[in-house]
Structure 1
């Protein structure tokens, strides 16, 4: 089953959608979701975790939140699964959470974005589990954002709204972006947070952290701006080195040369094997050490 086949069931329903907070990479997932909702003529209402959602159809956004590092997704499920008409977790990586998974019923659907999560959740026969690719793979950057395949214009990325956002967040990061344009061929874009498996080099630009207009992922316009900004920035380079999953995905969709490293657990490798290895030959798996 693909995501469009799954979503057809909900075309006559109102979907109450809970966003998944995160970085610029999560914006690609959110953008993919918003685009799919429109494509499938779905009616969406953005909700908050503590809203009264009894007997509603609930979607929790895709991502990597259902693991021991974060609690947003697990808390939403725990709060609402007993009273929801249906609760669907869009394509996710799932780690642990055994007690929560045991407590769920057949009104809950956990969609996994790679096989290791799917095998883990499938052990719990009290709920529904599906295997569908990460929603970011549904983006076509050249069609969605009219990107040119070769584009070296700095101002294409840095429109005035983007500049203002960067200046407000962190002027030093903004200067780092400007300096990166001295070399248009190679980008090192490693993560610099708890999911990193190694220390990033000094010439690193963690673009998922730098370009992010809305960390809540609730504002569709800002999510779109973030996604376009990331694709536009990556499109300046020929080769990208990264352990950010969605920088890898975005770069692959742009047909770039990618050297893809592992994060602090198996998420990157599992998505690579399921969705990237046999579809994007210019992406090379590099393992867990720089």
Structure 2
């Protein structure tokens, strides 16, 4: 991969003390974070991982590490905040971070919002440059300019597809402290050898579809009678990143509407049929990044049944 706009900015800025705000989310988010850390190491950019304490990722316990916008009536949320708040304060008291990096993904929007809350917390607590990693953005209830209007930090917002880039560039045109950029999802910094030894196996056909608010419902797939299949939303069900990777590595073919199941299949060089989701995210990332890879086809869910 040629140098991406995100890499170019990091090399231009040369941050000396970069704080990585990690992903709340599923194994796809972890794949994004893993790709980013690989590239930071290759570029020689030093960083501190929020919540990395004595070799253990505290955020695995904390979950949502943001302080603003939380549901303070929820007992589980309060338990997480009891762990997260001291971490935020600890990093604030260090006072030496020149750049805060908010994890890329699909949560800088009204659908999920985790990255939005992390952004609000970081800009309220730190007098530092802020980089929001490559995201897919969708704001229907929120004025995105309102998120940035009173922020004094120098903010670089990256989008991972053109639909989000065009929308955010227009929405933030009057926010002088924010620059909007287009750069690939950081999971694509990974190679097959980073994740598995060898080429994987062909034990089954994997059908990995989501059932949440991004789903468009059932998906038309070819007749798979007589074919061994595994139907599982592995982004949520597998207990580790290694288990997530293994599920795709063992597949002969993948059908999915999960962006990072499709991305992982591309990295592992598995044939994948990739379906659209409830907004422009899947189509946008396919058009901007994934379409250049072999062995992937994109299916508009309204277009009917793909070829086997």
Partner residue of 2:136 out of 93, 106, 115: 93
- The runs of 5 or more residues in structure 2 that have no matched partner are 51-64, 67-84, 221-228
- The runs of 5 or more residues in structure 1 that have no matched partner are 153-183, 214-225
> Which residue number corresponds to residue 207 of structure 1?
234
1:173-220 per-position Cα deviation (integer Å, ceiling 9, x unaligned): xxxxxxxxxxx241111112222111479962111112243xxxxxxx
Structure 1 residue 273, shift from structure 2 partner: 0.8
Q: Distance in 1 between matches of 2:295 and 2:163?
A: 24
SS at structure 1 position matched to 2:269: coil
Structure 1 residue 105, shift from structure 2 partner: 5.2
Q: Distance in 1 between matches of 2:9 and 2:168?
A: 18
1:144-186 per-position Cα deviation (integer Å, ceiling 9, x unaligned): 134211436xxxxxxxxxxxxxxxxxxxxxxxxxxxxxxx241
Structure 1 residue 276, shift from structure 2 partner: 1.3
Contact map agreement 1:93 1:267 (CA 8 A) in 2: yes
> Which residue number corresponds to residue 244 of structure 2?
230
2:198 paired with 1:148: yes
Q: Distance in 2 between matches of 1:134 and 1:76?
A: 19
> Which residue number corresponds to residue 77 of structure 1?
119
User: Cα gap change, 1:18/1:269 in structure 2, threshold over 3 Å: closer, same or farther?
Assistant: same
User: Cα gap change, 1:116/1:55 in structure 2, threshold over 3 Å: closer, same or farther?
Assistant: farther
Q: Distance in 1 between matches of 2:212 and 2:200?
A: 31
> Which residue number corresponds to residue 277 of structure 2?
263
User: Cα gap change, 1:104/1:199 in structure 2, threshold over 3 Å: closer, same or farther?
Assistant: farther
| Structure possessing the higher relative contact order (Cα contacts under 8 Å, 6 or more residues apart) | 1
Structure 1 residue 288, shift from structure 2 partner: 2.4
> Which residue number corresponds to residue 17 of structure 1?
20
Q: Distance in 2 between matches of 1:232 and 1:269?
A: 25
| Alignment of structure 1 residues 137-176 onto 2, 5 Å | 137-141=188-192, 143-151=193-201
User: Cα gap change, 1:71/1:288 in structure 2, threshold over 3 Å: closer, same or farther?
Assistant: same
Please, what TM-score do these two structures have when normalized by structure 2?
0.72
User: Cα gap change, 1:104/1:12 in structure 2, threshold over 3 Å: closer, same or farther?
Assistant: closer
What is the root-mean-square deviation in Å for CA atoms of aligned residues? 2.4
Q: Distance in 2 between matches of 1:46 and 1:31?
A: 12
Q: Distance in 1 between matches of 2:243 and 2:199?
A: 15
> Which residue number corresponds to residue 241 of structure 1?
255
Q: Distance in 2 between matches of 1:147 and 1:196?
A: 33
> Which residue number corresponds to residue 158 of structure 1?
none
2:7 paired with 1:4: yes
2:39 paired with 1:36: yes
Q: Distance in 2 between matches of 1:203 and 1:43?
A: 41
* Between 237-246 and 184-193, the greater mean CA deviation after superposition: 184-193
| Alignment of structure 1 residues 38-77 onto 2, 5 Å | 38-47=41-50, 48-49=65-66, 50=85, 51-52=88-89, 53=92, 56=97, 57-77=99-119
Structure 1 residue 260, shift from structure 2 partner: 0.8
> Which residue number corresponds to residue 187 of structure 2?
136
SS at structure 1 position matched to 2:231: coil
Contact map agreement 1:11 1:40 (CA 8 A) in 2: no
User: Cα gap change, 1:19/1:34 in structure 2, threshold over 3 Å: closer, same or farther?
Assistant: same
Q: How many residues align?
A: 244
